[in-house]
Chains A and B, each alone.
Chain A
Amino acid sequence: MDNQQALPMAADNVSIDPTIDPTTQRKHAAMMERLSNLHQSRVSNKTNPKDPSFESTQSFLSAFTNSKQAIESSLAEIQQIPDSNPNQDLKPDLERISLSISDLEKLVAENSYFLPPYEVRSSLKTISDLKQTLDSVTSKVKPRKKFSFKNKPAKKPETATVLAAAATKNESEHQSSYKVTDAPGFRSKENEVLVKEFKGSEVGEYVLTDLTNCEVRLKGCLRTLFINRLQNCKIYVGPVLGSILIEEVEGCVFVMASHQIRIHHAKRSDFYLRCRSRPIIEQSDGVRFAPYRLSYDGIENDLKESNLFDDTGSWANVDDFQWLRAVQSPNWSILPENERIETVKF
């Protein structure tokens, strides 16, 4: 692949005219010789049966998986030992595992030049995972190092554990600190009609999450909307001044107006949109798009206020981030006019 990419650009640079002057010619000849030497050595290298390089992804993968499994099983063994025999010295075992992990790393490095990038990445990930497991096993299993200066009180490890405890405590505080302050919204409902009217400009964000077979009507302007995990819902939304973020929806109908709309992991859903910019989809399929169809008392005003009164036609210019080609993405389509819903009124 890389070779092919490089070919056209290199062709311009190589054009050395051999008739120009003898020095150049001589240099050229020398170069050719050096090249053929290089080539010879490469060829002989390759045919050398002792050479462990095997240029096939398959064989690399099987070798890789084998040693990975070996390492994993010995790690598991070591984890079992301290329960039955707490005094056994595990240091050599751990060192052996660490060595075989670095061998594995070397194997990947040696073969990286022919492996597809995905395999390289996943192999490197596996290795770092193995290292992490080894670290955790080591910290669990290894007896604490004896501190050599006996006259000093061995306070250090204690403070370390205290610090660690404080850190974990902090961590849990972090976790809770932003889960307590939940944003307003509808959560975890089934088979309901949920209505909310926004008045004035005090409305910030709104959240719709974990809804099944619901109908949601949001009337009035809001700043931003987050939608997550909906199934078979009908969602009708007034103008959104900022952006709408949609994730993991299936079998839904959305009627919404916003400046920006991002759709992730959507399946079999219809979107009736008015959008100032291009809507985007990612990891979605079977999504269809049509123009906005919603009406309630005062929607014209709300749309004007949010600068969404004019239909710019952007609803049809969908960017599929997983389809970066000129031809139409198979993941989305324009909803045929005879299948569109009537204007929704409430």
Chain B
Amino acid sequence: MGLLSIIRKIKRKEKEMRILMVGLDNSGKTTIVLKINGEDTSVISPTLGFNIKTMTYDKYTLNIWDVGGQKTIRSYWRNYFEQTDGLVWVVDSSDLRRLDDCKFELDNLLKEEPYQTVRFWLNTSAGFLLTQPSLFQKCSCPKQKPAHPQFNGDMDDKLDIHVIKCYKIDKRLSGASLLVFANKQDIQGALSPNEIAKVLNLDVMDKSRHWRIVGCSAYTGDGLLEGFDWLVQDIASRIYVLD
């Protein structure tokens, strides 16, 4: 039995989906999440760090990771990529000046570039164990020291800890469905979803990724369900093939 089929089985049981919300600051990510969860959206501070919301949607459980979009914390987005089933990219359709930034960050996000991974290994009689699995729960835990070509170990003699840093090509988002929310459609002068799609040049992804753009307003709630319906259906058809 392959690893993939095992993962599929586990996921089928839980019917869980992990969704990552990203986008520039001021695009309305947190507002979208709170609105769709039926919460008060009148007092929302710019997100410092991230919020996690777990909600039931149709027959699935969505784990939505809403990550802050301020410039200083964008470099941390990569830390949230692991096991992402669906990606939601939120665009402020009324912010014409920063559309270039928006395109740059989206391209950067989807680019498969090398990233640094750090793992701690503890040498015990039972072989190598990954320490603090809660911190690195998404890492696999092989029984042997990984034979990575770029392996660089560092060892503490007393505690026998190996710190392993290596570079991997980032393919963690390569299977994820992409939903682009052209938010703030209720504001006069906002660009239409079609125009946003052109500016972001989404068409080039036709062959490599399932994607869709949906106009919405987190303020009124228009379009949010349409977007999430598509995303959840698309993920479900990929992961829960036999349903």
A residues lining the B interface (CB < 8 Å) = 2-3, 6-7, 9-11, 13-14, 16, 24, 27-28, 30-31, 35, 38-39, 42, 109-110, 112-113, 117, 120, 124, 128, 174, 177-179, 181-184, 202-205, 207, 209, 223-224, 226, 228, 242-243, 245, 259-260, 262, 264, 276-278, 280, 282-283, 307, 312, 319, 321-322, 324
Q: Mark B129-157, 1 if CB is under 8 A from A, else 0.
A: 10110010000000000000010111111
Asked whether, in the complex, the Cβ of B155 is within 8 Å of the Cβ of A6, the reply is: no
B153: chain A residues within 8 A (beta carbon):
113
Kindly report which residue of chain A lies nearest to residue B135, judged by CB atoms. A9
Asked whether, in the complex, the Cβ of B120 is within 8 Å of the Cβ of A2, the reply is: yes
Kindly report which residue of chain A lies nearest to residue B126, judged by CB atoms. A27
Kindly report which residue of chain B lies nearest to residue A25, judged by CB atoms. B125
Please tell me if B201 contacts chain A, counting CB pairs below 8 Å. yes
Asked whether, in the complex, the Cβ of B159 is within 8 Å of the Cβ of A11, the reply is: yes
Asked whether, in the complex, the Cβ of B42 is within 8 Å of the Cβ of A307, the reply is: yes
Contact of B94 among A39, A183, A322 (CB under 8 A): A183
- Give the top 5 A-B pairs by smallest Cβ distance, nearest first: A204-B188, A113-B152, A27-B125, A277-B45, A278-B45
Q: How far is the CB of B207 from chain A (nearest CB, A)?
A: 15
Within 8 A of A (CB), among B187-235: 187-191, 195, 198-199, 201, 219
A242: chain B residues within 8 A (beta carbon):
184, 187, 219
B residues lining the A interface (CB < 8 Å) = 25-26, 42-46, 48, 70-73, 94-97, 99, 113-114, 116, 118, 120, 122-125, 129, 131-132, 135, 150, 152-157, 159-161, 163, 165-167, 184, 187-191, 195, 198-199, 201, 219
B131: chain A residues within 8 A (beta carbon):
6, 9-10, 13
Asked whether, in the complex, the Cβ of B187 is within 8 Å of the Cβ of A260, the reply is: no
Alpha-carbon separation in the docked complex, A10 to B166 (Å)? 21
Alpha-carbon separation in the docked complex, A209 to B98 (Å)? 13
Asked whether, in the complex, the Cβ of A42 is within 8 Å of the Cβ of B155, the reply is: yes
Asked whether, in the complex, the Cβ of A262 is within 8 Å of the Cβ of B46, the reply is: yes
Contact of B199 among A30, A178, A280 (CB under 8 A): A178
Kindly report which residue of chain A lies nearest to residue B69, judged by CB atoms. A262
Asked whether, in the complex, the Cβ of A13 is within 8 Å of the Cβ of B129, the reply is: yes
Q: 11 additional contacts, CB 8 Å, given A13-B122, A223-B187, A223-B188?
A: A13-B124, A38-B155, A117-B116, A178-B191, A178-B195, A204-B190, A207-B97, A224-B184, A262-B25, A276-B43, A319-B48
Asked whether, in the complex, the Cβ of B189 is within 8 Å of the Cβ of A184, the reply is: yes
Asked whether, in the complex, the Cβ of A181 is within 8 Å of the Cβ of B165, the reply is: no
Main secondary structure of the interface of B (DSSP, over half): loop
A223: chain B residues within 8 A (beta carbon):
187-188
B42: chain A residues within 8 A (beta carbon):
259, 276, 307
Asked whether, in the complex, the Cβ of A277 is within 8 Å of the Cβ of B156, the reply is: no
Asked whether, in the complex, the Cβ of A260 is within 8 Å of the Cβ of B201, the reply is: no
22 contacts between A and B (CB under 8 A): A2-B154, A2-B165, A3-B156, A6-B159, A9-B132, A28-B125, A39-B157, A42-B155, A113-B154, A183-B189, A203-B188, A209-B97, A226-B95, A226-B97, A242-B187, A259-B43, A277-B44, A277-B46, A280-B45, A280-B46, A307-B42, A321-B71
Q: How far is the CB of A317 from chain B (nearest CB, A)?
A: 8
Q: How far is the CB of A170 from chain B (nearest CB, A)?
A: 8
Asked whether, in the complex, the Cβ of B165 is within 8 Å of the Cβ of A113, the reply is: yes
B191: chain A residues within 8 A (beta carbon):
178, 181
Asked whether, in the complex, the Cβ of B189 is within 8 Å of the Cβ of A14, the reply is: no
Asked whether, in the complex, the Cβ of B45 is within 8 Å of the Cβ of A6, the reply is: no
A278: chain B residues within 8 A (beta carbon):
45-46
Alpha-carbon separation in the docked complex, A42 to B157 (Å)? 11
Kindly report which residue of chain A lies nearest to residue B125, judged by CB atoms. A27
Alpha-carbon separation in the docked complex, A182 to B113 (Å)? 35
Asked whether, in the complex, the Cβ of A7 is within 8 Å of the Cβ of B161, the reply is: yes
Kindly report which residue of chain A lies nearest to residue B70, judged by CB atoms. A321
Asked whether, in the complex, the Cβ of B125 is within 8 Å of the Cβ of A24, the reply is: yes
Q: Which of B71, B97, B135 has the most CB of A within 10 A?
A: B97
